[in-house]
Structure 1
Amino acid sequence: MATDAGNPIPRFPAGFLWGVSTSAHQIEGAADEREPSVWDAFTAEPGRVKDGSTAAVACDHVHRHREDVALLAGLGVDAYRFSLSWPRLRSGKKGLDFYDRLVDDLCAAGVRPVPTLFHWDLPADLDWLERDTAERFAEHVSLVAGRLGDRVTKWITLNEPAEHTLLGHALGVHAPGGKLLFDALPVAHHQLLAHGLAVRALRASGAADIGIANSHGPTWAASTEAADVEAAEFYDLLLNRLFADPLLLGRYPDGIGELMPGDVEADLKVIAEPLDWYGINYYAPTRVGAPQGAEIEFGGVTMPAELPFSVREIEGHPVTDFGWPVVPEGLTELLTAFRDRYGDRLPPVVITENGCSYPGVDDQDRIAYLDGHVRALHRAVEAGVDVRGYFVWSLLDNFEWAEGYARRFGLVHVDFGTLERTPKASYHWYRELLRAQEPTA
């Protein structure tokens, strides 16, 4: 097993949940067997995806899911976080039957199914700018819970509504491609409302273990200058507190609620339905300063000049193949800050995504990345943060949204010509980490 300065990876409390994550649109393929999503329309437009690819086949998981379940069983994870394609489930019995088989096969393999009910692949005829989409989502959730709830005991409502709002509706680099900037705020509100309605639908079905997967990271001011500090505070509000405060405190940050549509106070009562746990996707901190009066290219995203902040590089740290800084200590900082900010309003935390993009099968850089972040997570546990689980992103190399197939996050290499799966060095490292967590006689 990989070690840090000769020290073995620390042991976590009994019952700690270890897993891996994927999402439907990124791995399933079989696009001709489901209704279209906003991502199908988006990737059909020239120039939207950097390598010109689509997810029509992806990893062909729909037809190869038993092979992937065998990989999960061989890895030794407790749980598998995957997403349920709303367009596939709307296509009729065949879609429901696929998820029935997947859940059955996971249970037979001793792997706990943890489905995410929405991971960005909105049916093409729906729009998060419309309040009705939240109601439609609740109906969808009721259908799914009625079919799978006898075997699924842990649920996730939404994945990363912040990114879906910012990248898909404000900046236009993800589907559906809107460039609304701050006029995209209703998208955030309607997703949060959909979450609350989904929690109620799941509770009505008898579910008792419900969370959400929100992306969060520390925001570091570029300097101590007042303008940089103010810009960093605004960015933190926009990417962290805008999505955590309504869920955990039942209110929007000051100045935000009045920008949202509808009866916000009534909606907040729905949004703040109690959670059994809070999921956090962590990748890196963000260094933010005052606006610089020009477009800035950062992490593959063009940030418009009119934004009231600018994202800066974090120097002095290695970077992933995606150009993201590797800062394990940011995870400890984030978790302790959440504990301090939200106190007893913060339920137990699960890290629902953490991972990195690197090429190759002998992926020692990924091992170093995961090793550092698992240690950082343990330091947060030692500091008193109630963390109950950790999921690596991702099981498989996959369709990485606007990047196409150029970025590889998987523990398992996928040859996108033959679809052959090859476990990487990191797969074997993670398996040994999980074995080291098993109780000793």
Structure 2
Amino acid sequence: MKRLIDKFTRRVEISHESRDVAAESGIVSRRKEAEQADNCRLECLPPEVRRYILSILNLSHLSALVHASPTFHQQYLVDRRYILCKSLEATIGCLTVEAYAVHRLSAPRNTSEFFDWYSEKCSHRAVPVTNDLTEGVASTIAGFYLRSVKPVVEECACRMLDNLAKNADDDHGDQQTIRPSQTEIMRLTRAAYRFQLLCQLTSPERTIRSSTEEKLQTLLNIMEPWEVEELFTFYQFALGVYDKVFTDIYWDLHPDNPKFDDQARPPTPDGAFDLDSGFVRDNLLEGTAIRGLTFLHTVLFQIKEHEHLVSTMQKQMKSSYIPINGMVGMFGETQQIIRRQEQPSIRDKMEADRVPLVFVRDELNRPPRTWTIIWGDTYSNLYGLHIPDEMRCWGYVFWDEATLERTGGAELLRNQWEECWGGYDPRGDFVRFEEGSLEE
């Protein structure tokens, strides 16, 4: 049975490629006969066995199977909620909490209640959240993952590995053959979902502007500092995508472009944007980035023509003044100082006490090797602008120890950290908490 399932799963993965290969090599009929025999064996299995097969597939394989087989499709419809929930667990595991959080926040609700729920779920990840999902919710979560999360995460991983290869030592010649591990993909996926939460929390339809920073800080307070870095790294990836787009469409949107000559000045013509102003450009970048994963997917994959890109961006570009990036933004030094003064935490005390935090192994809920390297195997609650942007460019916080060894990433990390800080520890900028000042 296991061999049969493994064989079918493998064929699902390569089916769209194998047809072309088979046609070119003249073995279409033999391959087709073999596939028909396997299909017959699978579709003749008892219903309870077919149910089990469907329940252990990840979402991509599940989708492929139910579209390829009428028998399995019918079985899927009979027990859709159970199968979708099991497939979500097989695909994203404990990150189902993040996926469900995105779904819950997509509808208007009390954000204080949401944060209470989210904090509690993040503290008890071993308890399956799929028990709380209806069939409709599970279907919505699965669809969003397949349409938006998975392809954007894979593109992000590819670009960051390319940046790592460009910046690391040339002696590591196997960089181009590296495929992200399951743990690495899970870290990236967690960052993507939390990026979506950030976008939802900053939606002008959800909250008054004055409370946005408070809500974002509450979100960050739930995370470990290296998880905040994951989020910020993914956010900067999105900024980089739109920054390139802004450069590509600069003249198309320039107020001096002759196509706007029929409009009087001032004000700036409709459809034009002053991207020469750093202030305006930064605010437009932020506002466009926080449109979320669906629009990011559209820009990355669905727009092929330049004019289509221009018209789409003219409709979707907007300014935001939260701010998120920059020295006074949510990830900047000023906000972290204010937070430590107004909301001192046990994590701050752990940092002040230099509590040991050594790398054990690559697991989703443990700090990555890069984090323990830069902080000397002790706890740090710093993130954001205390970390060089050059390190986030290649996704330092996502990669396993094995990837660092194969690519020269560890040496690159140490060099970039040394170039930024020398022998200085930026944790020294913050006042040490007096012993006993925090409640246990």
Larger Rg: 2
Report the TM-score range of the alignment, normalised by the length of the smaller protein: under 0.3
TM-score (norm 2): 0.24
Higher strand fraction: Structure 1 or Structure 2?
1
Structure possessing the higher relative contact order (Cα contacts under 8 Å, 6 or more residues apart): 1
Higher helix fraction: Structure 1 or Structure 2?
2
